[in-house]
A and B are shown apart, each in its own frame.
Chain A
Amino acid sequence: MIQAEGLTHYYGPYPAIQDVNFGVRKGEILGFLGPNGAGKTTTMRIITGFMPPTRGTVTLDGYDVVEQSLEARRRVGYLPETVPLYTDMSVTGYLKYMGTLRGMSPKAIKTRLVEVVDVCRLGDYRKTQIGKLSKGFRQRVGIAQAIIHEPQVLVLDEPTIGIDPIQVVETRRLIKDLGRDQTVVLSTHILPEVSMLCDRVLIINEGRIVAEDTPKNLAEGLQGVDRLEVEIGGPAAEVLPVLKGIRGVNEVTHVNNDGRHTYTIQAQAGQDLRDTISQLVIGNGWSLRGLQMVGMSLEEIFLRLTTHEEL
């Protein structure tokens, strides 16, 4: 549905994104995950045809967003990061206006308006002036205008930012629903959001894509056996040096939780130390109360991929 090749964009001399490639299949929810200034908004502005890339191409449903801009734009619904709305219009007045701009007939707008107001829970605020709405409700109006014309592609730039937790949950449910028959591209820097919503994640940092996979694979790929959590019955002062002395162990942290001593052992990549550890523990006459592999949380993956220091 969306095909981006070699996207590069310069603001003046500085590249905001460099050689970004990705594809989105029909009906897929793709998440752009990245820290502030990574280039998420820049990418979305290019996909939606708001500005052309310095280099590279994007096609939507086969239409080039620069060369066949109008055709491409017919297929897009967009929620910009800042949720720009005409504050002096009423909610329905605004939605009707946006519907007309998207080429809908007055009749189509009328029926669709009822649905959209319902889906976005704007029922009580139909006649309210947008300027008088709270941030969360403006966000809903923003989503409503993005979906009113039932676009094939929905581009949402940080759709859950700045709204309260209850509305965040609601908004996520809404996006999940929309993602059933629409292609959705969303950006966020909230990690759990990505694992909750997205079929696939692109991690973008400093304008480059650093990882691309399903949230599950991403977590598993980096999980491995190199990180163990062990609970050992025995004096910590003795246990700790022994664990640290094992070849291939990089780091050991110790937590004493009411007499339950838990050690987190970080081994060198790919090393499986489970057997070594259990034998050592038994050999020293301590008791092995628990041993498990710990996956990296998406949070850690994110940090590992976007910061240059080793974890």
Chain B
Amino acid sequence: MRTVQAVAWKEIQIYFSSPTAYIVGLIFLALTGFFFTQDLGDPFPEATLTPFFDGAIVVFILLAPALTMRLLAEESKLGTIELLLTSPVRDWEIIIGKYLASLVFFLVLVALSFFYAILLFVYADPDPGPIYAGYLGFILYGSAALSVGLLTSTMSNNQIVSAVVAMGILLAMFFADRAFGAVGGLAGEIIGEMGVRGHFDDFSRGVIDTTNIVYFISVIAFFLFLSIRTLESRRWR
């Protein structure tokens, strides 16, 4: 456990001293701020964060890979992985440590975005249900997106490749519900079920459904499992 902590802590320090992470944070807050104010121009503005959440998950398709691309790709590139993997550390400890670090940085961003929610509570009288649910959904979605990015970072020693592949996977997950129509039948239905939209939209409408929570947690577990396996595979004959 101490190794997980050490790996995570090292990465967290890097996040808070790296320009990339700050740029990502800035873009995130700027864009989501824009989505937040979008509705306010309406003659009858709704006191809601729904557009904020809908925008945030799209923005995160691009930003999550930017946060995770470094995690293992850089270790492979610089060769530091040679010392990491020859230390008596289990592969899952490395993956979980790295994942936790990205999660911590992401949660800090989420916390900063509370600013918008606070504004809403101060100047309007929003329905708190959808806001809590929306945040829960967004945190789950972001955590899943980070696990996708971690996997692709584990697979490549090129950060750009890692980020682009992760974006591809996240886009596919985002648009999967369209496959429902295109593919049709049972296969289409299954692919559609895998999609993010169907599971996220409930949250931003204020509905907390256990199946949706289970969906995101399964996605995270699946990608973390694959990441551990990928790292492990370096030791396979």
Chain B residues contacting A88 (CB-CB under 8 Å) are 14, 17
- Whether the pair B82, A102 counts as a contact (CB closer than 8 A) is no
- Whether the pair B235, A51 counts as a contact (CB closer than 8 A) is yes
Complex Cα spacing A71 to B88, Å: 7
Give the size of the chain B interface in residues (CB under 8 angstroms): 24
- Whether the pair B90, A66 counts as a contact (CB closer than 8 A) is no
- Whether the pair A52, B237 counts as a contact (CB closer than 8 A) is yes
Chain A residues contacting B234 (CB-CB under 8 Å) are 50-51
A72 shortest CB reach to chain B, Å: 9
The contact string, 1 if C-beta is below 8 Å from chain A, for chain B 60-88, is: 00000000000000000011111111111
- Whether the pair A49, B82 counts as a contact (CB closer than 8 A) is no
Chain A contacts with B in 82-122, Cβ cutoff 8 A: 82, 84-86, 88-89, 97-98, 100-103
Q: Does A171 sit within 8 A of B, measured CB to CB? A: no
Give the size of the chain A interface in residues (CB under 8 angstroms): 30
Q: How many A-B residue pairs have CB under 8 A?
A: 66
Residue in A49, A52, A85 whose beta carbon sits within 8 Å of that of B86 in the complex: A49
Complex Cα spacing A102 to B6, Å: 11
- Whether the pair B10, A97 counts as a contact (CB closer than 8 A) is yes
Q: Does B236 sit within 8 A of A, measured CB to CB? A: yes
- Whether the pair A76, B237 counts as a contact (CB closer than 8 A) is no
- Whether the pair A82, B88 counts as a contact (CB closer than 8 A) is no
Residue in A52, A53, A78 whose beta carbon sits within 8 Å of that of B83 in the complex: A78
Assuming A54-B237, A100-B2, is B80 touching A85 (CB within 8 A)? Answer: yes
Complex Cα spacing A53 to B79, Å: 19
- Whether the pair A69, B82 counts as a contact (CB closer than 8 A) is no
Assuming A49-B235, A70-B90, A88-B14, is B3 touching A101 (CB within 8 A)? Answer: yes
Complex Cα spacing A50 to B79, Å: 11
Q: Does B26 sit within 8 A of A, measured CB to CB? A: no
A55 shortest CB reach to chain B, Å: 9
Q: Does B89 sit within 8 A of A, measured CB to CB? A: yes
Which residue of chain B is the closest to A157 with respect to CB atoms? Answer: B82
Chain A contacts with B in 33-59, Cβ cutoff 8 A: 45, 48-54
- Whether the pair A69, B235 counts as a contact (CB closer than 8 A) is yes
- Whether the pair B83, A98 counts as a contact (CB closer than 8 A) is yes
Complex Cα spacing A45 to B79, Å: 12
- Whether the pair A98, B10 counts as a contact (CB closer than 8 A) is no
Chain B residues contacting A89 (CB-CB under 8 Å) are 10
Complex Cα spacing A82 to B88, Å: 20
Chain B residues contacting A76 (CB-CB under 8 Å) are 86
- Whether the pair A52, B235 counts as a contact (CB closer than 8 A) is yes
Complex Cα spacing A71 to B80, Å: 21
Chain B contacts with A in 1-22, Cβ cutoff 8 A: 2-3, 6-7, 10, 14, 17
- Whether the pair B90, A84 counts as a contact (CB closer than 8 A) is no
Complex Cα spacing A89 to B14, Å: 9
Complex Cα spacing A101 to B237, Å: 25
Complex Cα spacing A73 to B81, Å: 14
Chain A contacts with B in 1-50, Cβ cutoff 8 A: 45, 48-50
Chain A residues contacting B88 (CB-CB under 8 Å) are 70-71, 73-74, 101-103
Complex Cα spacing A88 to B83, Å: 16
Chain A residues contacting B86 (CB-CB under 8 Å) are 48-50, 73, 76, 78
B33 shortest CB reach to chain A, Å: 31
- Whether the pair A80, B235 counts as a contact (CB closer than 8 A) is no
- Lowest 5 CB-CB distances: which A-B pairs, in order? A84-B79, A101-B87, A100-B6, A84-B80, A74-B88
Instruction: Identify 12 residue pairs between A and B in the complex whose beta-carbon atoms are under 8 Å apart, listed by A's number.
Output: A50-B82, A50-B86, A69-B235, A73-B86, A74-B88, A78-B82, A80-B79, A84-B79, A84-B82, A84-B83, A98-B83, A100-B3
Q: Which residues of B contact A (CB under 8 A)?
A: 2-3, 6-7, 10, 14, 17, 78-90, 234-237
Beyond A49-B85, A78-B86, A103-B3, 11 additional pairs, beta carbon < 8 A: A49-B86, A50-B86, A66-B235, A71-B88, A78-B83, A82-B79, A86-B80, A89-B10, A97-B6, A100-B3, A145-B83
